[in-house]
Amino acid sequence: MDNVSSPPGHDTTDSLSGGSFTGSSSRLPDSLKLPSADGNVTINFRAEPPLLQKPRTSRMFSPMSKTPNQTLIARQLNLAPGTVSRALRQQPGIKSETRDRVLKLAQKLGYTVRLRGKAAAEAEACYLGVLVQSPESSWTHTRYLVGLSQAATAMNVTLIVHHVSFQDCLNIVHADRQPPAMRDGRVKGLCLVHRWPEDIARQLSEKFACVSVVHFYPGAKVDLVDMDHRGGMNILAEHLYRLGHRKIGYFGYCSDMSWSRARYAGYVEAMTKLRLELNPAWAIEFGTEVFEHRLVPATAPEQALQLIKSGVRAWMATNEWAGQMLAQIVRDAGLRVPEDVSITGFDNTDTVPRPVVQLTSVGVSLSVIGTAAIQRLHHRLDNPEEPRQNILFDVEFAPGNSTGPLNH
């Protein structure tokens, strides 16, 4: 309200409503009535001032908000919001362990990254290829795929799974024989499953970040995610030794399969450690076609039975399939497992259609290997110059009914 000055000596009096105030030194009245078109309006000078409305705070950035968002994730992990944002969008410059922590918490909280514009285009281009080479029309080790898929989902990655037969594996380096996403450059890295020719693995590793499941390629920059073959063979050999066996053979050695070489090396190491006879004639060798086409070697049954007759009563098979083959050979000859012959497997998988016995074995979860393969491949994309690495998982002993005490 504008101030109005009065002539000197004039006593300003307002007789409205009979109330009056004189000069600035007078105490303000409690209320004042003013005329209006609708009647008198009363102004209360002593009323409490209205409370100011609190500023509206966005729920996304409220300190007490429990809605999953990047600020909440950053606070719980003690990270900068920008770091969380880049980790969720798979942008470079973030340590792999930091990225993993962010992705795991985001998945736990149910946070979904909504990308737009350039970020969405970059995320759409984040494809990883899974190349499976095998003769079968279907992939038997589907538990690899479980782990691969779980890890890809957590990392906001799309998997392109492509099966390649043995006849076509040499052509995968040619663009016209590749999956479209691999051909047009959207695939940034490859996970190789089953054995590929070493030259093909090398050529692929020159164009893509590559990780191999179980198979080792010494001449190529391909990271390996595998199980501890040597440690597993030592566990099985010591098990047979405790049962009284001193003559132990090896069934199914294949020099072209890196995992078979590693397991045979573990067999040799165990025999040496236990001070048992190590006779090269006790190792029955297979060709690659035996594993690739599930064939029974023509000479294997006769070799095995002759060695059993000579006193080799315990056998370490190179994998589950070879162990089941040997068990069938033994039973067809009228011998008993494990009363007459003890047999161990390796992998502890259930891919044999009609198992003869439940093999005593060792193994590791294939889904765990699949998960680690995708995590390693993602790390490799962020660290292309890092030296090649081999990741080995410990195996666990899995008792079966195929081993027993030496029966003299």
What pLDDT digit, counting tens, does each position of 247-301 carry? 999 999 999 999 999 999 999 999 999 999 999 999 999 998 888 778 889 899 9
Structure confidence at residue 29 (pLDDT): 52
- The residue among 186 and 1 whose pLDDT is bigger is 186
Which of 22-36, 105-119, 215-229, 360-374 tops mean pLDDT? 215-229
Q: Is the pLDDT of residue 9 over 90?
A: no
pLDDT at 63 over 50: no
Report the range of poorest mean pLDDT among 230-239, 286-295, 346-355, 378-387.
346-355
- Encode burial over 208-226: b for 16+ CB neighbours within 10 A, e otherwise: bbbbbbbbbbeebbbbbbb
Cα distances (Å, whole numbers) of residue 297 to 110, 224, 365: 53, 30, 30
Q: If pLDDT is split at 50, 70 and 90, which confidence band does 152 have?
A: confident
| pLDDT for the residue numbered 65 | 41
Q: What is the mean pLDDT of residues 168-176?
A: 87
**Mean predicted confidence (pLDDT) in 185-200:** 91
Range among 18-32, 102-116, 181-195, 310-324 with highest mean pLDDT value:
310-324
What pLDDT score was predicted for residue 109?
81
Determine phi and psi for 351, rounding to 5 degrees. -90, -5
The answer to whether 144 touches 108, Cβ cutoff 8 Å, is no
Question: Is 20's pLDDT higher than 60?
Answer: no
pLDDT at 84: 85
Asked if 210 and 190 touch (Cβ cutoff 8 Å), the reply is yes
Task: Name which of 378, 370, 374, 376 is nearest 388 in CA terms.
Answer: 376
Q: Which residue has the higher pLDDT, 80 or 39?
A: 80
- pLDDT at position 67: 55
More reliable by pLDDT, 237 or 19: 237
304-338 per-position pLDDT tens digit: 999 999 999 999 999 999 999 999 999 999 999 99
- Please indicate whether residue 153 or residue 159 has the higher confidence score (pLDDT): 159
Q: Within a 10 A sphere around the Cβ of 254, how many other Cβ atoms?
A: 22
**pLDDT beyond 90 at 12:** no
Using pLDDT thresholds of 50, 70 and 90, give the confidence band for residue 153. Answer: confident
348 pLDDT higher than 70: yes
Query: Which tens digit of pLDDT belongs to each residue from 102-121?
Result: 888 887 887 766 655 555 44
pLDDT exceeding 70 applies to what percent of the chain? 75
In this prediction, residue 110 carries a pLDDT of: 76
Rounded Cα gap, residues 359 and 343, in angstroms: 7
The yes-or-no verdict on residue 343 having pLDDT over 90 is yes
Structure-model confidence comparison of residues 249 and 100, the more confident one? 249
Local confidence band at 408 (pLDDT 50, 70, 90 cut-offs): low
The whole-number average pLDDT for the span 205-228 is 94
pLDDT at position 158: 86
What is the set of domains in the chain, with CATH numbers?
A: 64-119 (1.10.260.40), 125-227+369-393 (3.40.50.2300), 229-364 (3.40.50.2300)
64: pLDDT strictly greater than 90: no
- What is the reported pLDDT for 31? 53
Q: Which residues neighbour 78 within 8 Å (Cβ) at sequence distance 6 or greater?
A: none
Q: Is the pLDDT of residue 95 over 50?
A: yes
Instruction: Report pLDDT for 100.
Output: 78
The pLDDT value given to residue 14: 38
Contacts of 36 (CB under 8 A, 6+ apart): none
Higher pLDDT, 39 or 233: 233
Is residue 155's pLDDT more than 80? no
Q: Is pLDDT of 45 > 90?
A: no
Tell me the one-letter amino acid at 210.
C
- Whether the predicted pLDDT of 17 surpasses 70: no
pTM of the model: 0.68
How is residue 123 written in tokens?
């995320």
Residue 2 has pLDDT above 80, yes or no: no
